[in-house]
Amino acid sequence: METQSMQVVRTFLTAVQQGDQAKLAALIHPTIEWNQPGNNRFSGTKKSSTEVFQMVGGMFQATDNSLALTDIKVLTANSNSVACLVHWKAVQPNGGVLDVDNIDVYTVENGQIIKAKVYLADVAQENNFWLK
């Protein structure tokens, strides 16, 4: 199970890096629960793939499509749960810069991600960047 879960998440993260919307849509369960921490306009729990794609679309819009997953530093599994240390960068049109690590924990069932919980290494930077 760990090997399959790791492969699903690895494929998901590669699709994020490549902007492969079709692959992302196939890997995210329609009723995914996605927990985005912080106190900004994208924070909160999303309860569907539609809400997740709306959130991410808003992030890309707010950064003139500069948001990028620049590094996958660690990827490790425990049963069907996969934790990864990832690095994100983005620049806003007004000059704001995001340059942060996150730890994401994904739960995989039947080849799809059914749950995602994001941990921010720098909550203040994220909140200041994304605002309310």
- Quick check: pTM over 0.85? yes
- Per-residue model confidence as pLDDT tens digits over 88-127: 999 999 999 999 999 999 999 999 999 999 999 999 999 9
Contacts with 71 (C-beta within 8 Å, 6 or more apart), sequence order? 86, 87
| 54: its two tokens | 């709306």
Class of CATH domain 2-130: alpha beta
Pairing of strands 112-120, 28-36: parallel
Domain ranges of the chain: 2-130
Which DSSP letter does residue 96 get?
Answer: -
The CA-atom distances, in angstroms, between 115 and each of 34, 52, 90, 91, 94 are: 6, 11, 25, 28, 33
- Per-residue model confidence as pLDDT tens digits over 26-47: 999 999 999 999 999 999 999 9
Split at pLDDT 50, 70, 90, the class of 82 is: very high
Asked whether residue 65 carries a pLDDT value surpassing 80, the answer given is yes
**10 Å Cβ neighbour count for 47?**
12
